[in-house]
Amino acid sequence: MRQFPKILVLVLLVSLIGSTLLFLHSTSDYQNVGTLLHSQTNVLSHELQDEPTAKIEEGYIVHTSHCQIPDVDLWHPSILQYVRNNSPSLACSRIATKPPLTYTEDDMLYINKTNSPFYNGSLLFCEYVEIFRPPNNDFKFDLGHKRVVFTEKVLVKKEFIKVYCYSTNNTLMYQNLHAFTPTKPLLRHMKDNLSLRHKRRGYLEQLNVLMVGLDSVSRLNFHRQFPKTLKILRSKLKAYEMYGYNKVRDNTFINLTPMFLGKYVEETDWNETNNEPFDKYKFAWKRFADAGYHTLFAEDAPSIAIWNFEKEGFHHPPADYYLRPFSLAMASTSSMWTNYKHCFGGRLETDITLEYVYNFIKSRQRAPHFAFTFLTRPTYDSVNQNTDQSHAKFLESMIRSRLLENTILIYFSDHGIRRGDILSTYIGKLEERLPAMFISLPDWFARKYPQIAQNLEVNQHRLTTPFDINALLDNVLRFTGIPKHPSANMRSISLFDKVPQDRSCASATIDDHWCTCLQQQPASVSDKKVIRAAKVLIGKINKKTAAHHKVCARYKLDEITDALQATPTHKLMTFKLSMNDVIGRKEYYGEEAIGRVTMYHVTIRVKPSGGVFQGTVKYDSTTNSYRSSGYISRTNAYGSSSSCVKDHSLKKYCYCKELM
């Protein structure tokens, strides 16, 4: 008998809670109370704030408690004079006057005799010599003395060769360079042993890694200049786009060192005064090599290569297959370059490099491999130049040959364009700091580990950095399948884990002048721009109920109860350039960039209903225009005041005229 009152009390309590929630649902936009409280007091718990999916506030690409990055127009008026639509992809076919006389398939070299008439002579024979790297030198190449003569085809067991072809009177009529990725039996045996040892440590999966980097391509400019590649990444490879991927330093070298080493350059013992090579550092390709992965490292434009430009480079090849000796040999053959050094022997340098990557992966698809290629020349210092056709063709070939079915693909850039008048605009500064970053998983992997796929989806709209890519690579290398729960104050967070929503530029160690998160501060409710923003917000509410104007009252502004403004940091808007990577590193500032965007977060009371609404309005100083951005929340009860409309989505906005 004593239990009955307790049960009765419990039943009554449950009924009371249910009734209260039902009342709140019908009388108040209670689902947005958490958002309101967070924006005003910032006291909600991490668990309540964190979104399970990749929902994002309209008008933003990142909208978390400590970072809001605005979503800007791809063709914003302030940058139209600097960017072009439908820029043609670089090509060499219309420039080449003669078709090549030699070509390769796998490890075979062939002569295309049907093309010999283009070379003003009757072909007699061809021969090749090896191109190789001298010991401890990253800036020279040598040619072998042994000449291999052939008249139709020949099996090539060397990595790089130079070909000479002669006419009947022994006159040189043709020359070219070719790159191969031959099997190295001793290397393969060593890798098999290392791979077996790595597997015995109990890691669950052994994904391959392919990283394709483009110099100076912002996320937005990737959309403008690489539409075909973008479509393949999105539709066929289901790639995750990291909208909030923020660079951490100025140039390529000091952004990619954190990506592959997990440290800022100044945290190593390298600086501008020493001539030491980079061999001793445990870059990602070295860590994968130690685990039995076959590795490739390929760059174009050797004179400005990442770890070579004004640096010592590597005394020993950093990877098992290292394209640099071949690139140096190409650079020295000046007579074969056309189209401002984009075309070599009638072929695009980008195509030559990507073909090398393709052949490496094709011949090692059953062995674990790590491939990193970085392409500089086409997009360096040019916001309107692209190799979209080349990259689209490369990805199509990889998909068609099924070479990505066990591979995590990372398509990325180091930063946006760093020079030119576009940097006098806010959009240009934003683009410089937000490079392209796409990550694609094998279908089977995403299905097998749905939490990882979901985390990547969420992370698309979180603040991320090159340090997170380094952590991701370590996660791939030592994969346990168990996501971690990192804290916001961690500098390196694997993108297989959910990046905390309270991460800030400070906790990610992004300096103020590189930080793209808006700076939020109180705004005066009597400020003219705040008043204008409030009226724009009311206009949007009235537009929602316009179709029901016969029954719903038209609102007017009664009072602005609160206002915040979010703007780019002063340092971002005035930054001009930085000097030095380590010693004497200094930033210089100047006049403020044009095209500032300000986000106004306003809370208003309207009449005649007394309804309290909260929303965001974007002010664009270039066009002097205001636009309501995102969701408008109602923060007080409306009860039965909207009973004259049946559409549930309009009830929080409508105030029935019959009550006036």
Which tens digits make up the pLDDT trace of 375-396? 999 999 889 989 999 999 999 9
Which tens digits make up the pLDDT trace of 177-187? 999 999 999 99
Which of 448, 477, 506 is a domain's end point?
477
CA distances from 411 to 111, 264, 357, 374, 474 (A): 35, 22, 14, 10, 17
Q: Tell whether the model's pLDDT for residue 10 goes beyond 60.
A: no
Give the lowest-confidence range in 24-33, 364-373, 518-527: 24-33
Higher-pLDDT residue of 596 and 47 is 596
Strand partners, 559: 605
513 residue type, one letter: H
Closest CA to 497 of 456, 462, 460, 449: 456
Structure tokens at 252: 């390529």
CA distances from 2 to 9, 11, 13, 284 (A): 12, 15, 18, 68
Which tens digits make up the pLDDT trace of 437-452? 999 999 999 999 999 9
The vertex-575 CA angle with 570 and 576, nearest 5°, equals 160
Residues 6+ apart with CB under 8 A from 472: 439, 494, 495, 496
Q: Tell whether the model's pLDDT for residue 227 goes beyond 70.
A: yes
The pLDDT, as a whole number, for residue 595 is: 87
Structure tokens at 96: 């080449």
Question: Are 167 and 240 found together in one domain?
Answer: no
Contact assessment for residue 464 and residue 437, using Cβ atoms and an 8 Å cutoff: yes
Residues 6+ apart with CB under 8 A from 660: 553, 608
In a domain, 544, yes or no: yes
Count the domains in the chain: 3
Which tens digits make up the pLDDT trace of 497-509? 999 999 999 999 9
In a domain, 25, yes or no: no
Rounded Cα distance between 593 and 118, Å, is 54
Rounded Cα distance between 497 and 459, Å, is 8
The pLDDT, as a whole number, for residue 234 is: 98
Structure tokens at 615: 């929303």
Closest CA to 556 of 541, 573, 575, 572: 541
Residues 6+ apart with CB under 8 A from 285: 260, 295, 297, 318, 319, 370, 372
Residues 6+ apart with CB under 8 A from 141: 131, 132, 133, 134, 325, 326, 328, 329, 332
The pLDDT, as a whole number, for residue 11 is: 43
The pLDDT, as a whole number, for residue 46 is: 31
Closest CA to 500 of 43, 40, 49: 49
The pLDDT, as a whole number, for residue 169 is: 83
- The band of 86, judged by pLDDT with boundaries at 50, 70 and 90, is confident
* Mean pLDDT of the region 77-84: 94
Question: Are 646 and 584 found together in one domain?
Answer: yes
Which of 424, 449, 477 is a domain's end point?
477
The pLDDT, as a whole number, for residue 596 is: 87
Higher-pLDDT residue of 319 and 660 is 319
Q: Which strands form 294-299's sheet, in the order they lie side by side?
A: 240-241, 437-440, 407-413, 208-214, 369-375, 294-299, 321-322
Question: Are 254 and 361 found together in one domain?
Answer: yes
Which tens digits make up the pLDDT trace of 294-325? 999 999 999 999 999 999 999 999 999 999 99
Question: Are 149 and 219 found together in one domain?
Answer: no
The pLDDT, as a whole number, for residue 381 is: 81
Question: Are 148 and 69 found together in one domain?
Answer: no
Structure tokens at 188: 């393969």
In a domain, 500, yes or no: no
Which of 430, 449, 477 is a domain's end point?
477
Q: Tell whether the model's pLDDT for residue 436 goes beyond 80.
A: yes
Question: Are 333 and 431 found together in one domain?
Answer: yes
Reduce the secondary structure of 564-617 to three states and give it as a string: EEEECCHHHHHEEEEECCCCCCEEEECCCCECCEEEEEEEEEEECCCCEEEEEE
* Mean pLDDT of the region 420-424: 92
In a domain, 94, yes or no: no
In a domain, 91, yes or no: no
Higher-pLDDT residue of 309 and 93 is 309
Question: Are 392 and 472 found together in one domain?
Answer: yes
* Mean pLDDT of the region 166-183: 93
Question: Are 458 and 581 found together in one domain?
Answer: no
Which tens digits make up the pLDDT trace of 565-594? 999 989 999 999 888 888 778 889 999 998
Question: Are 442 and 589 found together in one domain?
Answer: no
Share the mean pLDDT of the chain: 90
In a domain, 78, yes or no: yes
The pLDDT, as a whole number, for residue 552 is: 96
In a domain, 497, yes or no: no
Question: Are 614 and 568 found together in one domain?
Answer: yes
SS3 content of the chain, % helix, strand, coil (to 5): 35, 25, 45
User: Strand 369-375 to strand 347-348: parallel, antiparallel, or no bridges (unpaired)?
Assistant: unpaired
Q: Which residue range is the domain that position 132 belongs to? A: 102-179
Which tens digits make up the pLDDT trace of 249-306? 999 999 999 999 999 999 999 988 878 999 999 999 999 999 999 999 999 999 999 9
Q: How far does the chain reach from its first CA to its final CA, in angstroms?
A: 55
In a domain, 113, yes or no: yes
Question: Are 459 and 347 found together in one domain?
Answer: yes
The pLDDT, as a whole number, for residue 121 is: 74
Give 140-146 contacts, CB < 8 A, sequence gap 24+.
Answer: 140/328, 141/325, 141/326, 141/328, 141/329, 141/332, 143/329
Structure tokens at 121: 């002579």
Question: Are 169 and 212 found together in one domain?
Answer: no
The pLDDT, as a whole number, for residue 186 is: 93
Three-state DSSP at 461 gives: coil
Domain of 572, CATH number, reads: 3.10.450.10
Structure tokens at 1: 């008998």
Question: Which ranges of 461-551 does DSSP label H, i.e. alpha helix?
Answer: 466-477, 528-544
The pLDDT, as a whole number, for residue 54 is: 53
Domain of 276, CATH number, reads: 3.40.720.10
pTM (two decimals): 0.85
Rounded Cα distance between 578 and 423, Å, is 14
Three-state DSSP at 229 gives: helix
